[in-house]
């Protein structure tokens, strides 16, 4: 019997979580895990009760021609990582010493939040154009690995 590794299992779950996203630009899923148990999940989208961009006629960032990784404060969406952290806070769940599985490398803002929340490891699928996040995660000694689904392994 062939079973997925734990990392492959959790990365597949991030893809399912991402499918709930309503973002018109990028669907991102995040899963916070400790001791092989899911603590919380999150996907990117507007705050609860706020209209989604498709209902408003499109993405403001697209209308303003803002490149990916820049001027994120102009997005109506909360990032997947932020939603996973918020869910933990709402439910009273500590995410200290946890691992984040995420479909896209965290941005600088999310990296700072993950550091302060005590996340110790990040495993991501796709890159993101934000060199500041990589630098601050390295400085904080958070282990960061890219998961290569073809090799079912990591690459630096």
pLDDT tens across 123-139, in order? Answer: 999 888 778 999 999 99
Closest to 44 in 3D by CA, of 89, 5, 126, 102: 102
**φ and ψ at residue 105, rounded to 5 degrees:** -50, 135
Of 34, 55, 36, give the one whose Cα is nearest residue 46: 55
Express each pLDDT in 69-123 by its tens digit: 777 777 778 999 999 999 999 999 999 999 999 999 999 999 999 999 999 999 9
Name the active-site residue from 51, 73, 81, 143: 81
For the full predicted model, state whether its pTM sits above 0.85.
Answer: yes
Active site residue 81: yes
């Amino acid at each position: 019997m062939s079973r997925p590794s734990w990392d492959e299992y959790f990365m597949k779950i991030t893809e399912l979580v991402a499918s709930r996203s309503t973002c018109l630009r990028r669907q991102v899923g995040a899963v916070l895990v400790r001791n092989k148990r899911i603590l919380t999940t999150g996907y990117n989208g507007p705050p609860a009760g706020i209209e989604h961009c498709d209902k408003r006629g499109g993405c403001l960032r697209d209308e303003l021609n803002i490149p990916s990784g820049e001027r994120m404060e102009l997005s109506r969406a909360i990032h997947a990582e932020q939603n996973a952290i918020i869910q933990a806070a709402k439910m009273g769940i500590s995410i200290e010493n946890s691992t984040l599985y995420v479909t896209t490398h965290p941005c600088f803002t999310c990296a700072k939040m993950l550091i302060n929340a005590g996340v110790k490891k990040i495993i991501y699928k796709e890159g993101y154009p934000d060199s500041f996040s990589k630098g601050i995660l390295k400085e904080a000694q958070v282990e960061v690995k890219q998961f290569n689904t073809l090799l079912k392994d990591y690459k630096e």
